[in-house]
């Protein structure tokens, strides 16, 4: 154990050195100006506490309690090595019991790849939360984000449950956003109000993620609450469809976490009419508002991408299918060469051509056109006559960049969001953990 | 045009500044000790020259001439935006005419995404080579590697054809390896001798690539020559199979070039018996030797990966199928988080778990085991009892790292090779070109 201690001390001093050298920005340059005002969601209360799972001097556990009558829907990572809390939540999410629900999240330890003990830790936490709050265990969801492969000290979490239960408040969602942060440089929140049958319905959500998705400190977790009156099947169908257009359309580094989880809880306590159909006017209006909150949070995750200095939107049109458009968009958004070019403010459209080519989607070099923001760069298989490097280089100086690709083959379209790939990403991830 | 000039001057000064700051290593730390001795291949002659396509003060064109009776086989990029020289070569490669063959390659300009003029440039070069050497145009292959999207000054190339033809020599293959370099930090060559029917048969090859595969300066090109007597169908089948196990098993940055090309030319001038069957003893022996040359060259491309400081072998076993094993191996080899961990000498096996999980291959967390070199790190869904961070951290200091993953589900296996992801990669690619 002496050697281990020595190693740890060395790591600490090296990290401090790097921090000094790297002059890491305290907050991402792409962060929103301020944390938004979040409306009260009737029937939803929140609390956070310092359990000391890993971090000192900050909160690292959050609890959400939804009143009886709430319905829940979720999206989960498809990783084959997902954490036991994810498996546990997936098993329970379809439950339609109306006893209310609780969500407990810790940061600092992902409780992933921790074998039978990890499964038992999830069970212990769920049972303790259920007992403390008087809920059936089947209505308790838990999530963990942090280092992979270390046993979760779950008794530190259960030790603060009474404190959490005592402090539950409708106003504490912003604090919860802070408690779930890991390498995030800013807390992430978003809200919307939508009128359903003349009654305002509130939606408020929080997220964490900073690197899409570094498995050991940057898992993506999203929790959204609403007082909408909505049936579980409709909420489920909306969440699935909207996740696909928002959180499943972002990438920081193409790596997928073992713990990604999105939960949407509707307390059904608004006076608005019940949303029973996906495509009713009320359903469409609510889905639009929910989608805006989800997109806003998804964008904030990209804006806090590890080392990010550019926010990049990739818009692909004219593909043979939406799936093909998505393939092209992700090939561009995940290309290290496109991302390093953005970091270097280099209008290197040849790399966009390369990414289209390797995507596997149907493409015809001689039909392809490429835009950087409003500037047509490449057209009909070669550089556009009107394009000049000066214009491209000036455009790349923007903090927000739009890459447009038109394949001119069909009507398939997709939009995805990413950030650039900088030295800081390497520093964070080459240094982090050891 | 004044603004353009000013911009260019600024770029030049910025590049010089960066070079001073970055202190880029002249040669990759993973380079072989020396360029190997290449045997003479009877019936194959080579020449190189300085055409000034882009670079000054170095050779940038190589010519290979194969005697009548030679057979050729090749592998090509599957990119949908591939260069006209690739399309041209793919069209011709099946030709069984026995008039000999020529290969002309330039560095500095990829002639990719250059529209109809790019196609015409390929045609002009092929016709000029054919005329100079007295070959049908259908037996001339050409390749270009360098910046995408700029018109190829093909007349500079055709201007040195007479000089190239006059200087053709059996001993000039090493010079050709230098002429095709772009961002490569060392020339790449490999050779093997194999006895077929008691007669030694020679194989010698060269490659370029440095970044798998940066489209604008690091296309992968491979040319291998042998005096083996072999039929075209057998050579074709071997090349396809062996490419899949060698060049298609390497990755530096997951980006695929518009111009990747591998050609194997057999002059059939050895006295050895004709290889007419893939699975005859002679066929098996020859394929093994050819495979070794191909693997050696493929490894050299990885060893010259942009910014590389670690050579990483990923060995996956126990998968449901070979395809699944390959999926897992590439998920690990392409993961920015695994690669930055390697750069930081961090035994971050949690990221390997993450990559297995996201690969899409069938995997069972509780059967999975992971090794770093000889050290068992994770076993049955959690960290191995015998493992200590100290041992892992010490192992990661090696320049060559083996990551072993056993899925314990079946007999599928795959091995791929990659390098780490360093700040230097970002510097090269954020700075390069503008």
Residue B382 sits in a domain whose CATH number is 3.10.20.340
Considering the domain architecture, whether residues B229 and B297 belong to the same structural domain is answered as: yes
Q: Could you list the residue range(s) of the whole structural domain that residue B359 is in?
A: 311-431
**HSE-up (13 A, CA, CB side) for residue B419:** 29
How large a percentage of chain A has pLDDT more than 70? 89
Average pLDDT over residues A356-368: 89
Q: Which residue has the higher pLDDT, A18 or B158?
A: B158
pLDDT of residue B6: 60
Residue A11 pLDDT greater than 60, yes or no? no
Q: How confident is the model at residue A97 (pLDDT cuts 50, 70, 90)?
A: confident
pTM exceeds cut of 0.80 = no
pLDDT reading at A253 higher than 60: yes
Same domain (yes/no): B156, B296: yes
pLDDT score of B8: 56
How many distinct structural domains can be found in chain A? 2
pLDDT category at B147 given cuts 50, 70, 90 is: confident
The stretch B61-69 carries a mean pLDDT of 95
Structural domain includes residue A385: yes
Q: How many CB pairs under 8 A join A and B?
A: 246
Quote the pLDDT of residue B213. 45
Per-residue exposure over A371-380, b if at least 16 CB sit within 10 Å of its own CB, e if not: bbbebbbbbe
Q: What was the pLDDT predicted at B112?
A: 87
**B7 pLDDT exceeds 60?**
no
Residue A5 placed within a domain: no
pLDDT band of B380, cuts 50, 70, 90: confident
Select the highest-mean-pLDDT range: A126-135, B266-275, B371-380. A126-135
Candidates A1, A255, A370, partner chain B, best to mutate (most B CBs within 10 A): A255
Q: At what angle do helices B349-358 and B336-343 cross, to 10 degrees?
A: 160
pLDDT of residue A17: 46
**Span A130-181, pLDDT tens digits:** 999 999 999 999 999 888 888 999 999 999 999 999 999 999 999 999 999 9
Whether the pLDDT of residue A14 is over 70: the answer is no
- pLDDT at residue B253, as a whole number: 67
Note whether B353 contacts A427, CB cutoff 8 Å.
no
- Computed on alpha carbons and rounded to an integer, the radius of gyration of chain A in Å comes to 23
Q: Do B426 and A427 touch (CB under 8 A)?
A: no
Which pLDDT belongs to residue B369? 94
Which pLDDT score is estimated for B312?
A: 95
Give the confidence band of B214 by pLDDT, cuts at 50, 70, 90.
Answer: very low
The token pair that represents A267 in the structure block: 């307390």
Instruction: Answer whether residue B290 shows pLDDT above 60.
Output: yes
Task: Check whether residue A224 and residue A81 sit in a common domain.
Answer: yes
Min distance B384 CA to chain A CA atoms (Å): 10
Given a cut of 80, whether residue A6 has pLDDT beyond it is no
The mean predicted confidence, pLDDT, of chain B is 86
Contacting residues of B for A382, CB less than 8 Å apart: 113-115, 117-118, 149
Judge whether residue A248 has pLDDT over 80. no
Residues A83 and A231 in one domain: yes
Residue B316, domain member (yes or no): yes
For B15, nearest residue in chain A (alpha carbons): A344
Considering the domain architecture, whether residues B189 and B266 belong to the same structural domain is answered as yes
> What would the mean pLDDT of B115-136 be, rounded to a whole number?
96
Instruction: State the pLDDT at residue B434.
Output: 35
**For residue A350, which residues of chain B lie inside 8 Å, CB to CB?**
110, 112-113, 147-149, 215-216
Residue of B nearest to A87 (CA): B365
**Do residue B380 and residue A253 have CB atoms under 8 angstroms apart?**
no
Question: Which residue do the tokens 């799936």 mark?
Answer: A323
Nearest to A382 among B113, B351, B378 (CB): B113
Min Cα distance A266 → chain B (Å) is 30
A7 closest CB neighbour out of B117, B393, B434: B393
Helices A336-343 & A349-358 angle (0-180, nearest 10)? 160
Tokens 């699944």 belong to which residue? B324
pLDDT band, residue A25 (cuts 50/70/90): low
Residue A214 banded pLDDT, cuts 50, 70, 90: very low
- pLDDT at res. B137: 95
The domain boundary, picked from A303, A323, A355, lies at: A303
With CA atoms as reference, the chain A residue closest to B306 would be A337
Do the beta carbons of residue B297 and residue B207 sit within 8 Å?
yes
B158 and B189 in a common domain: yes
Q: What pLDDT is attached to residue A250? A: 76
Q: Residue B17: inside a domain, yes or no?
A: no
pLDDT category of residue B342 using cuts at 50, 70 and 90? very high
d(CA A264, CA A291): 12
Residue A275 lies in a domain: yes
pLDDT at site B12: 52
Contact B113 A378 (CB under 8 A): yes
Best of A328, A344, A408 to disrupt the B interface (most B CBs within 10 Å) is A344
In this structure, the answer to whether residues A361 and A412 fall within a common structural domain is yes
Local confidence band at A104 (pLDDT 50, 70, 90 cut-offs): very high
Token readout for A213 is 């998705």
**Smallest CA–CA separation between B152 and chain A, in Å?**
12
> CB–CB of A253 and B427 under 8 A?
no
Q: How far is A85 from chain B (nearest CA, A)?
A: 14
Q: Is residue A22 part of a domain?
A: no
Residue A324 confidence (pLDDT) = 95
Same domain assignment for residues B250 and B346 = no
**Which residues of B are known catalytic residues?**
219
Partner residue opposite B335 with nearest CB, options A112, A255, A258 = A255
Percentage of chain B modeled with pLDDT above 70: 89
In chain A, which residues have their Cβ closer than 8 Å to the Cβ of B429? 336-337, 340-341, 344
What value does the mean pLDDT take over residues B345-374?
90
Residue A141: CATH number of its domain:
3.60.70.12
Instruction: Tell me the per-residue pLDDT of A382-417, one tens digit each, with 9 for 90 and over.
Output: 899 999 999 999 999 999 999 999 999 999 999 999
The mean of the pLDDT values for chain A is: 86
CA distance B86 to B141: 9
Nearest-by-Cβ selection for B382 from A113, A383, A389: A113
The reply to whether A19 falls in a domain is no
In a domain, B14, yes or no: no
Q: Which chain A residue shows the shortest CA-CA distance from B111?
A: A382
pLDDT at B241: 84
Closest Cβ–Cβ partner in B7, B340, B354 for A426: B340
Highest mean pLDDT pick, A143-152, B164-173, B264-273: B164-173
Using 50, 70 and 90 to split pLDDT, how confident is the model at A182? confident
| Minimum Cα–Cα distance from A11: chain B residue | B346
Q: Residue B3: closest CA among chain A residues belongs to which residue? A: A390
Predicted local confidence at residue A94, as pLDDT:
86
Task: Kindly state whether residues A354 and A212 are assigned to the same domain.
Answer: no
Confidence of residue B162 (pLDDT cuts 50, 70, 90): very high
Q: Residue B99: which pLDDT band, with cuts at 50, 70 and 90?
A: confident
Q: Name chain A contacts of B382, Cβ cutoff 8 Å.
A: 113-115, 117-118, 149
Contacts of residue A387 in chain B, CB cutoff 8 Å? none
Residue B165 has pLDDT above 90, yes or no: yes
Q: Clarify whether residues A174 and A262 are in a common domain.
A: yes
pLDDT at position A154 is 96
Q: A164 with A65, same domain?
A: yes
Q: Check CB contact under 8 Å for B380 and A115.
A: yes
Q: Per mean pLDDT, which range of A127-136, B292-301, B325-334 is the poorest?
A: B292-301
pLDDT at position A294: 87
Q: Which of A215-224, A290-299, B403-412 has the weakest average pLDDT?
A: A215-224
Residue A16 in this model has a pLDDT that exceeds 50: no
| Identity of the residue in A335, A354, A431 whose CB atom sits nearest the CB atom of B81 | A354
3-state secondary structure chain B: CHHHHHHHHHHHHHHHHHHHHHCCCCCCCCCCCCCCCCCCCCCEEEEEECCCCCCCCCCCEEEEEECCCCEEEEEECCCCCCCHHHHHHHHHCCCCCCCCEEEEEEEEECCCCCHHHHHHHHHHHHHHHHHHHCCCHHHEEEEEEEECCCCCCHHHHHCCHHHHHHHCECCCHHHHHHHCCCCCCCCEEEEEEEEECCEEEEEEEEEECCCCCCCCCCCCEEEEEECCCECHHHHHHHHHHHHHHCHHHEECCCCCCCCCEEEEEECCCCCCCCECCCCCHHHHHHHHHHHHHHHHHHHHHHHCCCCCCCEEEEEEEEECCHHHHHHHHHHHHCCHHHHHHHHCCCCCHHHHHHHHHHCCCCCCCCCCEEEECCEEEEECCEECCCCCHHHHHHHCCCCEEEEEEECCCCCEEEEEEEECCCHHHHHHHHHCCC
* Chain B neighbors of A389, CB-CB under 8 A: 4, 7, 434
> What residues in B contact A381, CB-CB < 8 Å?
113-116
Contact B353 A118 (CB under 8 A): no
Looking at B283, B303, B323, the residue that finishes a domain is B303
Active site residue A132: no
Q: Mutate which of B148, B430, B431, B432 to test chain A, going by most A C-beta atoms within 10 A?
A: B430
Choosing from A59, A182, A219, A251, the catalytic residue is A219
Selection from A20-29, A235-244, A379-388, B215-224 with the highest mean pLDDT: A379-388
Give me the residue label for tokens 């939107």.
Answer: A313
Given a cut of 70, whether residue B278 has pLDDT beyond it is yes
pLDDT at A218 over 50: no
Provide, rounded to the nearest whole percent, the portion of chain A with pLDDT above 90.
54
Residues A205, A145 within the same domain: yes
**Is residue B395 pLDDT above 60, yes or no?**
yes
Contact assessment for residue B70 and residue B231, using Cβ atoms and an 8 Å cutoff: no
A414-428, B60-74, B197-211, B285-299: range with highest mean pLDDT: B60-74
Please report which confidence band the pLDDT of residue B16 belongs to, taking 50, 70 and 90 as the band edges: very low
Candidates B343, B363, B421; nearest CB to A80: B363
Q: What is the mean pLDDT of residues A334-342?
A: 90
Task: Answer whether the bond into residue B74 is a cis peptide, omega within 30°.
Answer: no
Which of A237, A270, A303 finishes a domain? A303
User: Contact B431/B214 with Cβ under 8 angstroms?
Assistant: no
Give contacts of B15 with chain A, Cβ < 8 Å.
none
């Amino acid at each position: 154990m002496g050697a281990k201690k020595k190693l740890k001390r060395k790591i600490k001093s090296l990290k401090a050195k790097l921090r000094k050298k790297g002059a890491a920005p305290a907050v991402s340059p792409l962060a929103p100006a301020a944390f938004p005002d979040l409306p009260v969601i009737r029937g939803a209360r929140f609390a956070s506490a310092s359990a000391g799972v890993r971090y000192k001097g900050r909160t690292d556990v959050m609890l959400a309690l939804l009143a009886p009558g709430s319905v829940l829907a979720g999206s989960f990572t498809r990783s084959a090595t997902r954490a036991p809390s994810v498996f546990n939540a997936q098993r329970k999410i379809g439950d339609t019991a109306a006893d209310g629900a609780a969500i407990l999240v810790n940061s600092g330890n992902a409780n992933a790849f921790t074998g039978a003990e990890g499964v038992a830790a999830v069970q212990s936490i769920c049972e303790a939360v259920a007992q403390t709050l008087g809920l059936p265990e089947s209505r308790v969801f838990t999530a963990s984000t942090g280092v992979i492969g270390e046993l979760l000290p779950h008794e530190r979490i259960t030790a603060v449950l009474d404190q959490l239960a005592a402090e539950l408040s409708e106003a504490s969602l912003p604090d919860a956003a802070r408690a779930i942060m890991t390498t995030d440089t800013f807390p992430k929140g978003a809200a919307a109000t939508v009128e359903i049958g003349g009654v305002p319905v509130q939606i408020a959500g929080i997220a964490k993620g900073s690197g899409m998705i570094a498995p050991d400190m940057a898992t993506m977790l999203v929790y959204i609450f609403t007082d909408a009156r909505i049936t579980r099947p409709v909420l489920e169908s909306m969440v699935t469809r909207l996740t696909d257009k928002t959180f499943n359309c972002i990438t920081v580094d193409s790596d997928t976490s073992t713990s990604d989880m999105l939960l949407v809880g509707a307390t059904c306590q608004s006076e608005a009419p019940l949303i029973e159909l996906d495509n009713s006017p009320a359903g469409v209006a609510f889905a639009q508002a929910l989608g805006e909150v989800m997109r806003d949070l998804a964008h904030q995750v990209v804006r806090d991408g590890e080392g990010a200095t550019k926010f990049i939107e990739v818009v692909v049109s004219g593909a043979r299918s939406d799936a093909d458009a998505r393939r092209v968009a992700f090939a561009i958004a995940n290309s290290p060469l496109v991302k390093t070019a953005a970091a270097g403010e280099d209008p290197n459209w040849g790399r966009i051509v390369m990414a289209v080519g390797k995507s596997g989607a149907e493409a015809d070099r001689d039909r392809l056109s490429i835009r950087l923001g409003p500037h047509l760069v490449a057209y009909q298989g070669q550089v556009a006559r009107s394009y000049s490097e000066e214009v491209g280089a000036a455009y790349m100086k923007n903090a927000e960049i739009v890459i447009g690709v038109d394949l001119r083959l069909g009507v398939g379209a997709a939009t995805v969001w990413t950030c650039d790939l900088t030295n800081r990403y390497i520093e964070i991830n080459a240094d982090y953990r050891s």
